[in-house]
Structure 1
Amino acid sequence: MSEEPIDPDSILEARQIGRQTAAGQWLIRDISLAVHPGDRIAIVGPTGSGKTLFLRSLAMLDDIQEGELLFHGNPLKDKELPEFRSQVVYLQQRPVLIEGTVEDNLKFALQFQVNQHKSHDIAAVISLLSTFDRPESFLQRQSSALSGGEGQIVALLRALSLSPQILLLDEPTSGLDPGTTKQFEAIILKWLSTSDQSPAFVWITHDHSQADHVARQIMTFPEGTISPVQESP
């Protein structure tokens, strides 16, 4: 375990995280990151440098072989994972949707006990759909008829409906056209600016210009170094 002092202001803190293969080869090692309320962090780096491995570790979707994760300063217990995953939401590159309509998918996460205190805000959903130039009738589209980009829009709306503290975004705009990508970015930034709980994101992107646009800090792999985004003159 790390002997570094705990960051009392962080929502999520990764301390010297390491992931290795069954044969013992290190895939990532000694990577640390503290995510605070309101943080906008982009992760960039070449394919195969460990970006997704690290993000999945932050989401506690895969075991780590070295280091530790702290949520609000405390190690997570197994019984706390459902609550954690309702507050730290992972949005993968290829979204998984259930059979049924778009609205069925938006309501899906709310059926779990940990989310039953949260409501399906149809007015908020319709407002977000209009930002994506999608009519209210889009809610009745079958998930099987959606394009990859439309599926990613649904996955984002579903994630935001949980009012998470942190969004973990794994190249979420890779299947979107440039116009929809700008809309997607605008929705995320609006969510950050209008939420009353100062949420944060960690966003993997292969596009350095996108990282400069959406983030305030950039984490570069494979080194895991962090630097502030340079303000445009």
Structure 2
Amino acid sequence: MSNDIYVEENVPQFEAIYGKGLISLGGFEAINKMFARSDLKNKQILDVGSGIGGMAYYLAEQYHCKVIGLEIHQWMANYATAHAPKNIKHNLKFISYPPNGSIPVSDESIDICCSKGVLTNVEKKLQLFQELHRILNNKGQIVFIDWLVPESTGSKYDRLRLGDMSFKETQSSYTQILEKAGFNNIQFIDKSKEYLEYVKQLDEMYHSSEHKKTYANIISRSLRDDLILANMDLKKSIESDQQLSMLILADK
């Protein structure tokens, strides 16, 4: 992958690692578990950090809902639009943030705002959550999977092995941000054990001779070595309770 990992040339690597259309751990199994407490049928959903479209496609097809994918990368919005399956294209729309950070979506027009493993890359979360609060209807809710750190660590900002920045909050600092944005009934559900299993599965895949052979022209030996080391970092941080995967739910 290039120094900026979120570039279009890396789509084949993303899909070789995470699956068709995806850039996050656990595949469609993790998506189903993420929404186990939510009613998505016929809802209007905003997918924050929709990437190359895989989760939005899946939700639209499985739950017959309309999904707007929101991306900071314009090329991702364009890519997801271009590759949307024809049978659900009418229920999908992909947009990008304008320079001022406002979300180009009408007030109180969304039922559920969701995001999976993306918000750790967002440094200034308050403005984003204020915008999400604005566009949610009166019964709207947020459903997020995000990485947190323990209270003893305090909010932590660091550059990961593959080059991307991570801005992790504690549960208390995340709660303060959400409350300041206007949300209530905030819940944090620890999914760390579940995500540790996804990390272990990824490690097995990286070492698989079949995977190495299948993707030899897509994932170089040096890249595979870097991916293994990055995955090892993640595994150690979860096992030592220094990084927590949380399902975050809140109501408007």
Answer whether TM exceeds 0.5 for this pair: no
Per residue, is there more helix in 1 or in 2?
Answer: 2
Could you state the TM-score of these two structures normalised by the residue count of structure 2?
Answer: 0.29
Could you state the TM-score of these two structures normalised by the residue count of structure 1?
Answer: 0.30
